[in-house]
Structure 1
Amino acid sequence: MPTVTLATTDAQIAACFPVIHELRPHLKDAAELVDRVRRQEQEGFQLGYVEEAGKPVACIGFRRQERLVHGPLIYVDDLATLNAVRSKGYGAVMLDWVEALAKAEGRKVVDLDSGTQRTDAHRFYFRQRYAVTAFHFLKYLK
């Protein structure tokens, strides 16, 4: 079973760019990813990854939160696997890992959002026993 490693150095974060870029194509390069991750770390964000042949092939970005509705939880910002290695179980490894982390910390919930257009991802989340429990609303401000 692959091991999840937390990206703590700029080089590790930058190496995750090809994976994250498949999910977040608006990011222009590895330097931008490093800058954004470093800023988000100030809010508790962490980036984990698994490797195949010495390179990241799946990544999970997450943060610990507490909400009135659920109490302490882990929120998954990003879960991405390279298209070339999809269906090898890396996504499940990442979710299993973050769920074990949440349980070890006494958290009862792992929460995530998935774009409405990402139907393949939705099927995956259903297989992982995630439920649709709310609508997520967004308003872009001018």
Structure 2
Amino acid sequence: MSKLFNALSTLGIGLAVGASVVNTALYNVDGGHRAVIFDRFRGVQEKVVGEGTHFMIPWVQKPIIFDIRSKPRNIAVVTGSKDLQNVNITLRILFRPLSSSLPKIYTNIGMDYDERVLPSITNEVLKAVVVGI
């Protein structure tokens, strides 16, 4: 009887270890999101992974999840008009990254691409609009 319990405990420990390895090898990409895979040996992969549950090599690969839904952002700018008056303008923009460009965005800009890119572009556009008025 004790041999049976020893065999069952060994089997249970083996199943628990196997389940934990399988659990670390799976990742989930929710709806409205895409993933880019970073491989420790090959770098950022060009393939963009869609929604669903996917397999990765534990400790070698890491998924970087991006939200590709349209998001709003308000940007306030103080600029001068032609008659040297200060003008306060707030622009609300909707933006989203192109899913095919996610590997380039992650490699060149990083996860905070909206914080780095949007303010400079919107400042230029708003100042051009105000000067044209």
Q: TM-score scaled to structure 1, two decimals? A: 0.22
The structure that has the greater radius of gyration is 2
Q: Which has more strand, going by share of residues?
A: 2
